[in-house]
Structure formats: structure tokens, C-alpha cells
């Protein structure tokens, strides 16, 4: 699908509709957070000190998220990363009543039915963590090194479409960043343009 339908075009990020978001920078400390996961356990960035962490903003109803889950691309990257000792956190910053917003049980159902494999699924219904990271889209991806420094932010890959057929042709930015960090190298593409549906913040 080379051209987005009117529906998909409407789902794309509209910066005019976004609330005020913080400006984070690669090379700087990643914002701290404390969020409940889908099982009610409080998770913090600090608890994963010493490990590489991936943050994945998600919304199961977004066509661009469906692209990567329906094809199995997201799950494959989650499993490869966690097998290598990386912490992978899926984050839902949808406000209650908004598209894709879920409670803990809903999040667990999504993980189970989608055969997903994040380390944890975090709930951010107030949107504070999403705004602190400047998360604009679902998906919007971040990679944080073991010292808590942000090393990558942007899209999961290089082709901004909702067509799963584009995945094999795209540069997988997150996978590439993790491989480079794992080899002790600098991330060659530290920032890219995120694409997807706008994060459904409450205000």
C-alpha cells in the first residue's frame, strides 16, 4: 500500500493537536519515571540501571502499531532484545476513554493474544511519562543505555507507512541501535522521525 487511505492519513500525527511535550535530547539522561505495570507492580527506570532499556509507546488499535505486530516484527525484536539481556518496556499513555487505552487486564490480554514479549507493559493514563519523553506517536521508540543516557529516539524503522510489506525493505533503527550499543559502538542513527498515530493524551 503506497498511498495512505483517508483513514490512515487522519490517524497520522497532527502536531497541532498535541499537548505541550518536553524536549529530550540524545546524549542526555533519560527522564526518570515510576509507573504501574499491567500486573499492578510499580516499575521505575532506576531499577534497570546497568541494563539497556527500550521504551515502546503503543496503542493496539493504531494501524501503524498493527503493521508491526500483525507482521510479527515487533514481537521478534522484543524477543531478540530480551534474550540479549535488554529490558523492553511497552508504554500506553492513552487517557481513559481514548482510542487504545487499556487497564491492566486489557494490557495483559493484548500481550497474550499478540504473542508479544515485552519485559513489562506499563500504564501511563495521566500521560506524564509520555509527555516527559516527548512521545508523539504510536509507535515511538527510545533506547537508553546502562548508564541511563538516551541513545536513540524516533521511529522503529525508516519507511513511514502502515504497509507490512515495507518492513523487509526498511532499516530497522531500534535493532540497529541495540546491535551497535551491544558492540560498544556509537549509535549511527541516533535520531529519526517517528511515525504513526498520535499518542492519545487526555490534555
Q: Let me know the angle formed at the C-alpha of 144 by 15 and 174, rounded to the nearest 5 degrees.
A: 70
**Domains located in the chain, CATH noted:** 6-15+24-198 (3.40.30.10)
Number of neighbours of residue 200 by Cβ within 10 angstroms: 21
Quote the CA–CA distance of 75 and 200 in Å, as a whole number. 23
Please determine, for residue 9, whether its predicted confidence score (pLDDT) is greater than 70.
no
Quickly count: other Cβ atoms within 10 Å of residue 84's Cβ: 11
HSE at residue 201, side-chain half, CA atoms within 13 A, is 20
Task: Give the tens place of pLDDT for each residue, 33-91.
Answer: 999 999 999 999 999 999 999 999 999 999 999 999 999 999 999 999 999 999 999 99
C-alpha cell at 132: 516527559
pLDDT digits (tens, 9 = 90+) for 150-170: 999 999 999 999 999 999 999
Q: Is 152 helix (H, G, I), strand (E, B) or coil?
A: strand
pTM above 0.95, yes or no: no
Amino acid at each position: 500500500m503506497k498511498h495512505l487511505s483517508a483513514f490512515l492519513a487522519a490517524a497520522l500525527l497532527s502536531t497541532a493537536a498535541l499537548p505541550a511535550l518536553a524536549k529530550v535530547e540524545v546524549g542526555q539522561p533519560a527522564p526518570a519515571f515510576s509507573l504501574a505495570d499491567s500486573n499492578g507492580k510499580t516499575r521505575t527506570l532506576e531499577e534497570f540501571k546497568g541494563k539497556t532499556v527500550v521504551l515502546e509507546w503503543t496503542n493496539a488499535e493504531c494501524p501503524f502499531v498493527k503493521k508491526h505486530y500483525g507482521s510479527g516484527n515487533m514481537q521478534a525484536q522484543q524477543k531478540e532484545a530480551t534474550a540479549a539481556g535488554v529490558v523492553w518496556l511497552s508504554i500506553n499513555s492513552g487517557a481513559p476513554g481514548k482510542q487504545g487505552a487499556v487497564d491492566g487486564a486489557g494490557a495483559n490480554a493484548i500481550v497474550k493474544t499478540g504473542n508479544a514479549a515485552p519485559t513489562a507493559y506499563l500504564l501511563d493514563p495521566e500521560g506524564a511519562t509520555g509527555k516527559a519523553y516527548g512521545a508523539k506517536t504510536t509507535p515511538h521508540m527510545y533506547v537508553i543505555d546502562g548508564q541511563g543516557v538516551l541513545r536513540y529516539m524516533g521511529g522503529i524503522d525508516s519507511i513511514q507507512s502502515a504497509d507490512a510489506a515495507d518492513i523487509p525493505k526498511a532499516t530497522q533503527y531500534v535493532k540497529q541501535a541495540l546491535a551497535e550499543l551491544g558492540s560498544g559502538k556509537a549509535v549511527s542513527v541516533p535520531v529519526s522521525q517517528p511515525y504513526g498515530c498520535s499518542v492519545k493524551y487526555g490534555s
